[in-house]
Chains A and B, each alone.
Chain A
Amino acid sequence: MVLSAIYILDMKGKVLICRNYRGDIENNVIDKFIGLVMDREDEGQITPLIQTEEAAFAYIKHKNLYVVATTKKNSNIVMIFSLLHKICSVFESYFKDVEEESIRDNFVIIYELLDELVDFGYPQTTDGQILQEYITQEGHRLEVALKPPPAVTNAVSWRPEGLKYRKNEVFLDVIESVDLLAGASGNVLRSEIVGCIKMRVYLSGMPELRLGLNDKVLFESTGRGKSKSVELEDVKFHQCVRLSRFDNDRTISFIPPDGEFELMSYRLNTHVKPLIWIESVIERHAHSRIEYMVKAKSQFKRRSTANNVEIIIPVPSDASAPKFKTTIGHCKYAPELGAIVWNIKSFPGGKEYLMRAHLSLPSVEGDITEGKPPIQVKFEIPYFTTSGIQVRYLKIIEKSGYQALPWVRYITQNGDYQLRTT
């Protein structure tokens, strides 16, 4: 059913710290791990899961670490992978960067955390905020009477009790990321919007929140079908949201965690015009030079402006002596990315810009065939959502009856935004 042990290894496979929860797997089994990974990498058959006679290894890479779980049974592997990622984020909440050095620097607290995060292989409390209430870096004396916060076992396991703020405020960020995959011939293969609502909550007590969106399903069921609304394809909620309530009448009601968290994410498959469209002509003259002509077009409303636009155009690794000509922004060659980066600070809607680049190629060709990485685009468009989603209201009710202010911001940015080249 569950994992047997958790190991944190450096890139060479040396164990930095480990915790064996079930004792059904010998500790030295992990010594074989790095060899197995290397073998599979050599054969090009790498998978995040390696089964051997003794155990199954499930691992993730985090910075310069391998975080590995072993199991001997037919365990719930999705749970194990989710847990490994969660563990990394809990460590991050304790000591920011999780890497070789910080693991050594914090081994005592890591042992304590591993003891609390998982019991006998079963994940327990993995909420960084709550854990920080009773697992602290200072050695506590018992007189201080440290007790498990009620949140650990409460139905509301994500919010401590008795919070107090002088000014009660809530910030809502609606962030939409646009994923795009376009073919070399200029056809859109896939486009989707992945949105999320992030919150920063500074509220006293145990407030009840209710969020109203212009959700199409809700509007239709309440007879407001004609108002502008958005059809959310798949919605995922933070564990604080009452799922059965949402399932019943599409009400998003919850008691929020304290501070920053992601309330919900959603996905839309609606076809929208790509916000920034790139056309490229690449002329390759073998043994001498390669020329690029790149046209960038903003296809959103003139009122809006995209900020910090970065167009990353991959070039062959053996190209050199770049020369650029552009109507706006500036270009630089980034050999570490194997690409030219074209920066445009501010890109208003309905505009079109051009860039030409010229690079030399060596007269002798290398043997290695290179792939054709796609052009990638990064951008941010404030005060704008592609989907048209709107926060209609955020009701905050607390028994003390205080007034709280909700603030809402909208932003659209690039997600996985790729355009293939010829």
Chain B
Amino acid sequence: MTDSKYFTTTKKGEIFELKSELNSDKKEKKREAVKKVIASMTVGKDVSALFPDVANCMQTDNLELKKLVYLYLMNYAKSQPDMAIMAVNTFVKDCEDPNPLIRALAVRTMGCIRVDKITEYLCEPLRKCLKDDDPYVRKTAAVSVAKLHDINAALVEEQGFLDSLKDLLSDSNPMVVANAVAALSEINEASATGRPLIEMNAPTINKLLTALNECTEWGQVFILDSLSNYTPKDEREAQSICERITPRLAHANAAVVLSAVKVLMKYMEMMGQDAEFVVSLSKKLAPPLVTLLSSEPEVQYVALRNINLIIQKRPDILKHEMKVFFVKYNDPIYVKLEKLDIMIRLASQNNIAQVLSELKEYATEVDVDFVRKSVRAIGRCAIKVEQSAERCVSTLLDLIQTKVNYVVQEAIVVIKDIFRKYPNKYESIIATLCENLDTLDEPEARASMIWIIGEYAERIDNADELLESFLDSFQDENTQVQLQLLTAIVKLFLKRPTDTQELVQQVLSLATQDSDNPDLRDRGFIYWRLLSTDPAAAKEVVLAEKPLISEETDLIEPTLLDELICHIASLASVYHKPPTAFVEGTGGLKRALPSRSGEEDASVMATGGASASVIPEPGSLIGDLLSMDIGGGGSTAGAGGTGNVDILGGGLDILGGTAPSAPVSEPLRYDSEESNSTDKSNAIRNTVIRLQSTNSLLGDIFGLSGTSSTTFHIPPKQVWLPAPKGKGMEISGTFSRKNGQIHMVLTFSNKAMQPMNQFAVQLNKNSFGLIPAQALNVPNIPPNQSLDISLPLNTNGPVQKMEPLTNLQVAIKNNIDVFYFACVMPIHVFFTEDGNMEKKVFLATWKDIPSANEVQFTLENIECNADGVSTKMNQNNVFTVAKRHLEGQDMVYQSMKFTNDVWALAELKIQPGNPSVTLAIKSRALDVCHSIFAIYDTILHN
């Protein structure tokens, strides 16, 4: 007899009929009726009207019937909260039933009834069940605490359930421990403060590790996931936990394996990267990861996404395993695409021949997406492995010969990148590419082709004709193509000015007059002005040598990568996005890899050894204005500093020839909000602005001598070591500079019950070589007393660059223990009193420092005027070298010198009445700029 008969009920009067059956005296009939109700519920009919009748059946001695009634209650209790109360008594009674199955069932179901009124009644039975003799009941009760917390967190804390749960961590039964861990992890994660409600400590961890060997596969996952949230206190502890977890890698369940990998990857960060242990552990990780590729396709997919992260973090782990990522004919498409990604990442000189012949094979398959990605992959290989470039190019040419439309287009897109990587090597193939011009119908391919024509205009005889042919349909083109066409024609004009004047005028007018697109218009104007002002300068700018493009593509930014490593096996690891990007209300709990404790430099982990330049996500991709706007490819060079073509120098020379007041009729500002400001446009802006300022300096020789410093800015004291962490000792402090010496100003408060004495201090190696100039002279501090002290510091200690620069790690010892904390120093305490630079030296230095070493900031809400700024800053050893009024703006030039003889120069642009002040900082040590900006911001707002 099957259950399907329950689905076929008559439609009319159905509810009424069921009602009478439910109230029948015959048990058998009652049971049948309940099944019919559940069947209706299953197919989505609303049977909530039967609530009282079904609830009446609750008191039964038939377990199956009871379960069905409970199921019904869970579904409809929310819509009938008042009636749900009726059921409470039975629940409470069932929690006392002699049969553990019933007790567990009742406590499990009660937790699922999300009605506030019921929760109060749940507390007592739950408390009993948490201490039940039967482990089956206890493990169910443990989960119910999490349920209750989800409904009413305050109640759980009030009732002391957190402690009960904590007690269960020491339960003799491994399943109970596992469920208690799961519940605790969930509660911790949901904590509103972002701080875990229950901290894990070494003894608890030990219990978990013991339970790990005995509980079910799922329990092992709960325990491992919870271990991944724990940070061992030192390397030794990390290593011993790793040793006990490693056997899990041999578990048949993929979830256990990957959760173990997560813990190991995280803890490995705490150990020396060359340590024998780390090396041998890395070796152990490879085989289980490879085996995951024989699991179900869905699991394979998740595994591949995770492997993608793992090999970015630790490229060595799978470097010899290329073959296992070869695509099988019957792999699902999502597995194929992921394997391809990993193949590119693992491609190296050693295996490139094999990879390439595979990719060529894939490029002839039928699935369009897969074929496209394969073609692109060939291009990536060419860029990544120089030795293979030639073979890759010839493979791509073969593919172009197939004339398969989408293959040709993909090939052209990647060839454009290859040209950039290896200039003047493969241009002979341009002719072949041009043959396919007509077949290109995708914007990205068209734009790429146009870029190629513009870039090599001097070698393509009919470049003008080719570009002109695109111009007819200019308005209909995609923006990407339009921008590219504009640039390409300008390049062509600069290379062959005689016969292309008409063409360039046509495109400039199309771009500036007939277009609504601000990017296009502005770029048109920039070119126009450049060309009309000084073609020679235009040439310098437009045809400047381009920075090399990066080899690695789509690398995840290191901090995000570290966060994702902590989320291995979770959704975040599949999306390659932090959980905050797709989960609502994930508190402030951001995971980060632990850093290595001990003396060695802390920056090792941040970059994870070999650092490759990072390509931003396509969305934020900072394209190169003059070369490509193509977002997706992501093969353009990293933004910022890399493009240090010295445009500034050139620009100054150009200016030298022209009149002092630069011919700028309209402010040539490229609005960076409108489109991502780019290398070159920045450079252009800098050229123009700098022209003015340098001139002003040249022209105006009036200065201002620094006023003597009287009120040095001392930041308010901060609590560096809170009493609970300092075993009762609270330390707050700040820094100041008195008579040319830096002082650490400290307040010690004894909040413990015993006196404190035998104080000593030590500073870790830091960026500026700070060391105490004398011993810490703190006498005995009785309980509840505090003491202020100023500790003079010298700057002749060992130097090690910190991140951030102004970070200082301090160790303070007393009779109780040694305490470690870190604080951030305000940078201006390192500004020396002799930081006033001579004007001429200032000018020369400013010119001397490359433009790449300049950083621009905006200070908001500045109330004081130029003089006020000077005065305030001079009191803090930032000296004004010159001041000048230009076109309604006050320009202030300042200099400062650090204790380690590094100089920094600043230029402030102040518009009276405008609270925003532009601050440009130049220094050979680029790192200091941000800190300087921060201190300007603080001092000027003080």
Interface residue ranges, A against B (CB under 8 Å): 1-2, 15-18, 21-24, 44-49, 51, 56, 58, 60, 71-79, 81-85, 101, 104-109, 111-112, 115, 119-120, 122-126, 134, 139-143, 145-148, 152-155, 157, 181, 183-184, 189-190, 192, 194, 233-239, 242-244, 246-247, 262, 264-265, 267, 369-374, 416, 418, 420
Contact = CB atoms under 8 A, between A and B. Distances in A.
A416 B64 contact: no
B366 A369 contact: yes
Given A104-B7, A267-B290, A236 B250 contact: yes
A270 to B, nearest CB: 13
Given A73-B579, A120-B144, 19 more contacts: A60-B298, A74-B583, A76-B225, A83-B255, A101-B4, A107-B6, A107-B39, A108-B64, A120-B112, A122-B182, A134-B101, A139-B65, A145-B99, A181-B326, A237-B250, A237-B251, A239-B251, A244-B244, A373-B329
Contacts of B357: 183
Contacts of B143: 119-120, 122
- Residue of A75, A111, A141 with highest tally of chain B CB at under 10 A: A111
Contacts of A234: 250, 287-288, 290-291
A246 B250 contact: yes
A416 B213 contact: no
Nearest to B332: A46
Contacts of B324: 190, 192
Contacts of A58: 298
23 contacts: A2-B182, A17-B42, A23-B112, A48-B301, A48-B334, A51-B575, A60-B296, A72-B584, A74-B572, A77-B571, A81-B254, A104-B3, A119-B143, A119-B179, A122-B143, A134-B101, A139-B62, A140-B62, A147-B101, A153-B175, A181-B328, A190-B324, A246-B247
Interface string B194-233: 0000000000000000000111111001100100000000
Given A78-B299, A237-B252, A243-B213, A73 B147 contact: no
A48 B361 contact: no
A46 B251 contact: no
B596 interface: no
A46 B294 contact: no
B136 A49 contact: no
A18 to B, nearest CB: 8
- Residue of A58, A76, A143 with highest tally of chain B CB at under 10 A: A76
B185 interface: yes
Contact of A152 (B6, B65, B136): B136
B125 to A, nearest CB: 16
Contacts of A418: 328-329
Contacts of A134: 101
A83 B134 CA distance: 26
A75 B784 CA distance: 47
Nearest to A266: B291
Given A235-B250, A236-B251, A183 B571 contact: no
A381 B498 CA distance: 79
B4 A105 contact: yes
B63 A157 contact: no
Given A74-B567, A153-B176, A183-B361, A81 B298 contact: yes
Contacts of B250: 234-237, 243, 246-247
Contact of B583 (A73, A77, A78, A155): A73
Contact of B366 (A1, A105, A145, A370): A370
Contact of B570 (A44, A77, A119, A124): A77
B329 A78 contact: no
A141 B222 contact: no
A42 to B, nearest CB: 12
B847 interface: no
A152 B136 CA distance: 7
Interface in B570-593: 570-575, 579, 582-584, 586
Given A78-B299, A104-B4, A143 B287 contact: no
A142 B361 contact: no
B302 A78 contact: yes
B67 A115 contact: yes
Contacts of B244: 244
A155 B174 contact: yes
Contacts of B252: 236-239, 262, 264-265
A202 B488 CA distance: 79
B253 interface: yes
A183 B368 CA distance: 21
A184 B291 contact: no
B294 A194 contact: yes
Contact of A111 (B38, B62, B221): B38
Contacts of B737: none
A372 B364 CA distance: 9
B828 interface: no
A85 B101 CA distance: 26
Given A234-B290, A246-B250, A155 B136 contact: no
Contact of B247 (A22, A139, A243, A370): A243
Given A22-B150, A108-B64, A1 B302 contact: no
Contacts of B365: 371-372
Nearest to A117: B218
Contact of A75 (B67, B288, B570): B570
Nearest to B214: A155
B381 to A, nearest CB: 17
Nearest to A107: B3
Interface in B2-27: 2-4, 6-7
B725 to A, nearest CB: 29
B574 A49 contact: yes
B635 to A, nearest CB: 22
A238 B146 CA distance: 30
B100 A148 contact: yes
Contacts of A183: 357, 361
B298 A146 contact: no
B230 to A, nearest CB: 15
Contacts of A262: 252
A386 to B, nearest CB: 16
Nearest to B582: A51
B303 interface: yes
A177 to B, nearest CB: 10
B71 to A, nearest CB: 6
B512 interface: no
A109 B1 CA distance: 13
Contacts of B135: 153
B108 interface: yes
Contacts of A105: 2-4
Interface string B111-137: 110100000000000000000001110
Contacts of B361: 183-184, 420
Contacts of B574: 49, 77
Nearest to B404: A369
Contacts of B247: 243-244, 246-247
B369 A44 contact: yes
B897 interface: no
A418 B222 CA distance: 39
B35 interface: yes
B323 interface: yes
Contacts of A108: 3, 35, 38, 64, 68
- Residue of A83, A153, A189 with highest tally of chain B CB at under 10 A: A153
A233 B321 CA distance: 13
B185 A1 contact: yes
Contacts of A45: 369
Contacts of A235: 250
A23 B65 contact: no
A380 to B, nearest CB: 20
A45 B301 CA distance: 13
B189 interface: yes
B749 interface: no
Nearest to B338: A47
B120 to A, nearest CB: 19
A78 B182 CA distance: 16
B571 A79 contact: no
